[in-house]
Copies of this chain bind each other. A is one copy, B any other.
């Protein structure tokens, strides 16, 4: 339960932009970040410590564990064995149990159901026969998703009762006979929202304000902080996020994606890491989500999640980066680029935060 001192090293699995921004926010706390990843990326540009190795290279993992004081990760698809090898030698935060829950849709939804948290209707599916039964139970439109390794709309397919189960199965997962899937029904929601919430090693919980998210092609386009909701809905969202993070015995920053149907909140999914919808906090909150994550995993006290004004965060995807010169010239536009050389379509290249008083 002890706090890491200045000079301590956070091990980071993954070299993407979330690791990069965590490293940038950890430095002023006197914490260094050591990246472990199969290839260089945005995060390795901002630290002198990088182990380039595969996630199943157990020798490299052991050396990495010995070189750092705590391990965290910037993506939820960390292989279970990787987490296990590391956890045997060094604290892993968020812990392997939270990771295992959040990286598997069926386990995550079972956890939320057991906690009494509202979600869209769902059915676990592992075979074509189970899919047939679930499509029947669905009674309308839905989405079939792989339980693991999906993100930004990948690993999922729209379905409806009456579709041929075998054809749907083959389309999503190919010829394999068994695979963990989840069939999700729809909630008729008007808006998408999220709460980014942090929990410290001491058990303190700090939710950021509920924010509203707009997606384009399944990828976050824009976040508005705070969401335009009643005080009651805002506190309900904070309470829900708090209940979830406590039940997971979680240490670090957690993204809780929500649907808003009138005043009712439904949890869509959990992300066991800093979250794209929390990027507004870099310029719009007293403590940004990346500093908060670094504080939590290092066992330091959490900072204040209070807002500094109202913020709109807009993602820069693919050739949206062509707008960079204009954004640099726009007073009060805070640019955050990820150091990626190639602007492929849909690729997250950076984001911009615009803060106004209030």
Contact = CB atoms under 8 A, between A and B. Distances in A.
A159 to B, nearest CB: 41
Contact of A24 (B24, B301, B304): B24
B331 A3 contact: no
Contacts of A336: 28
Contact of A46 (B47, B304, B325, B339): B47
Contacts of A328: 3, 29, 295, 300-301
A49 B45 CA distance: 8
Interface in A319-356: 321, 324-325, 328-329, 331-332, 334-339, 341, 350
A29 B336 CA distance: 6
Q: How many copies of this protein are present in the complex?
A: 2
Nearest to A30: B337
Q: Top 10 nearest A-B pairs by Cβ distance?
A: A30-B337, A28-B336, A301-B329, A304-B331, A300-B328, A27-B46, A6-B337, A301-B328, A24-B24, A32-B45
A264 interface: no
A286 interface: yes
A30 B332 contact: no
Interface in A244-288: 286
Interface string A20-57: 10011001111010000000000011111010000000
A207 to B, nearest CB: 15
A240 to B, nearest CB: 24
